[in-house]
Amino acid sequence: MLELRPILSALWQSKTAALLIALQLMLTLTIVSNAALFIHNRQEKIARPTGMAEKDILAVNFSALAKNYEMPAAVDADLALIRSIPSVIEATHSHKIPLSGSGESLSLFLEPNANKGGFSASYFYVGAGVTEALGMELIAGRDFKATDVQVGDHTSRNTLNAVIVTQQFARQLYPDAHAVGKYLYTGNNNQPIKIIGIVARNLGPHLHQAMAGNTVFFPQLMVVDGSASMTYLVRSEPGQLQEVFNQLEGKLRVRDPQRIISLRTLEAYKKRSYRADNTTIEVLATVITLLATIIALGILGLTSFWVSQRRKQIGVRRALGASRRAIARYFLIENLMVAGTGIALGLAAAQLANKVLVMYFNQPALPLPLLLGCALILLVISLGAALSPALRAANISPALATRSV
């Protein structure tokens, strides 16, 4: 029923072209499967929840022009003004902006006066209501109150006495026990800092670090001499951020014109932090699409050529009683054999290339389902490309056999 022998002998006649198609499919599968893996990993990284309601959060940053700026009073006035806007849920001050790629980290210790065996975490100096202002889920303990917050600078670590940590960090500190109520130390120092709350998650300032998610919050209004700059994090009702954005800029400027104010959504910071990943994804997706197109066009071109070369033979077969369906099937099976060979070789080549990528470029291993999925899609594409010339072949009239010999 399947004309395997005649197909094989016909293929042998144009073995170079068949081999080239197979080679193309092999290379394509190698590239496409590894690129797809790359895209998949980047997408997973971008899709990680940040632990914050970043779509509803605005980061407002200002620098005052005066050298000796009365920061605590200004912050009180600003926050009161921000909270008075109806669609604002909560606002707080912070010395760094989450997801922005700019942040600081420190080592925390379980024992006083230690300097070895610390746990690294990114930290923020924030104000009251930080959990609410960032839309974080508080899973134990409580949020900061106004009375927790001290005014200080880089030098005031030895007077801190409260901290909110992420669950991820709490589990590293106390794998088996409840962390709320326990104490931490900043190293070479015997000032106990009490863990008063645990939030479900916060990716912190650096999205690309392995320790992202080890984040802690200290209740401190950071006032640095010589650089009067401050950030507010403002959460609006869902969907009301643009409204808050529009009002805030003007209101803050009116309250104190002698400063430079810039507003940006946390979502924008997140997008900017992931831009390299996004570019890579887009480039690879384009490469995959182009490759699939090129391979489809190549198969289309070559199958058309084979069909046109064998018009006379097809006419003869039709005249001898072969049905249209048999002719179309012939070309599709021929294509399937060539593509199948290429893809089979590609399965091995893709694994091999992945081994190299794992070894030299720090890439993850290629999972089999992904590879098989890519192989299947390529097979469908190559069959689809052969379909139109095969149908055209089927339409060749048997009368052709009698002509032009």
Partner 1 sequence: MFGYYIALALRSLRTTPILSALMVAAIAVGVGAAMTTLTLNYMMSRNALAHKDDVLYAMQLDNWAPDRGWQSPNEMPWEINYKDAISLLHSDIPTYQVAMHRWGGPLSREDSELRPYSAEARVTSRDFFALFDVPFIYGGSWSSDADSNPVYQIVLSQQTNEKLFNGENSVGRTVNFNGAPFTVVGVTEYWQPSPKVHDLNNGNFKKSAEVFLPFGLHRSFEIYSWGNTNGWKGEVIDSYETHLGSEYVWIQYWVQLDSAQQLEDYRDYLTGFIRQQKAQGRFPRPLKFGLSRPSQWLQLNEVVEDDDYMLNWLSLAFLLVCLVNAVALLLAKFLRKASEAGVRRALGANRRAIFTQHLVESGCIGLAGGLVGIFLTTATLALMRQLQMGALDSVAAMDWLMMSAAIGLAILSSLLAGLYPAWRISRTNPSIYLKTQ
DSSP string, 215-257: EEEEEEEE--TT--EEEEEEEESTT-HHHHHHHHHHHHHHH--
Tell me which of 24, 94, 166, 214 binds partner 1, using CB under 8 A.
24
By beta-carbon proximity to partner 1, the closer residue of 107 and 240 is 107
Tell me which of 175, 226, 321, 369 binds partner 1, using CB under 8 A.
226
Part in contact with partner 1 (CB under 8 A); list of ranges 30-38, 83-91, 125-133, 167-175: 30-38
By beta-carbon proximity to partner 1, the closer residue of 226 and 369 is 226
Tell me which of 177, 178, 237, 305 binds partner 1, using CB under 8 A.
305
CB of 276 to partner 1, least distance (A): 7
Residue 115 binds to partner 1 (criterion: CB under 8 A): yes
CA distances from 118 to 110, 172, 253, 312 (A): 8, 11, 43, 82
The candidate with the shortest Cα–Cα distance to 217, out of 195, 185, 200, is: 195
Residue 327 binds to partner 1 (criterion: CB under 8 A): no
CB of 52 to partner 1, least distance (A): 21
- Backbone φ and ψ for 213, nearest 5 degrees, come out as 110, -20
- Binding residues for partner 1, how many (CB under 8 A)? 68
The candidate with the shortest Cα–Cα distance to 21, out of 297, 269, 229, is: 297
Q: Provide the 10 A C-beta neighbour count for residue 387.
A: 16
Tell me which of 43, 48, 49, 63 binds partner 1, using CB under 8 A.
63
- 342 neighbors 8 (Cβ within 8 angstroms): no
Residue 35 binds to partner 1 (criterion: CB under 8 A): yes
- 124 neighbors 233 (Cβ within 8 angstroms): no
Tell me which of 39, 57, 58, 64 binds partner 1, using CB under 8 A.
64
By beta-carbon proximity to partner 1, the closer residue of 158 and 246 is 158
The candidate with the shortest Cα–Cα distance to 149, out of 140, 160, 158, 141, is: 160
By beta-carbon proximity to partner 1, the closer residue of 225 and 237 is 225
The candidate with the shortest Cα–Cα distance to 346, out of 37, 30, 35, is: 30
- As a whole number of angstroms, the distance between CA 225 and CA 211 comes to 31
Q: Provide the 10 A C-beta neighbour count for residue 323.
A: 11
Q: What residue ranges bind partner 1 (CB under 8 A)? A: 16-17, 20-21, 23-24, 27-28, 30-31, 34-35, 63-69, 104, 106-107, 115-116, 118, 154-155, 157-158, 186-189, 224-229, 259-260, 262, 272, 275-276, 278-280, 282-284, 286-287, 290-291, 294-295, 297-298, 301-302, 305, 308-309, 357, 361-363
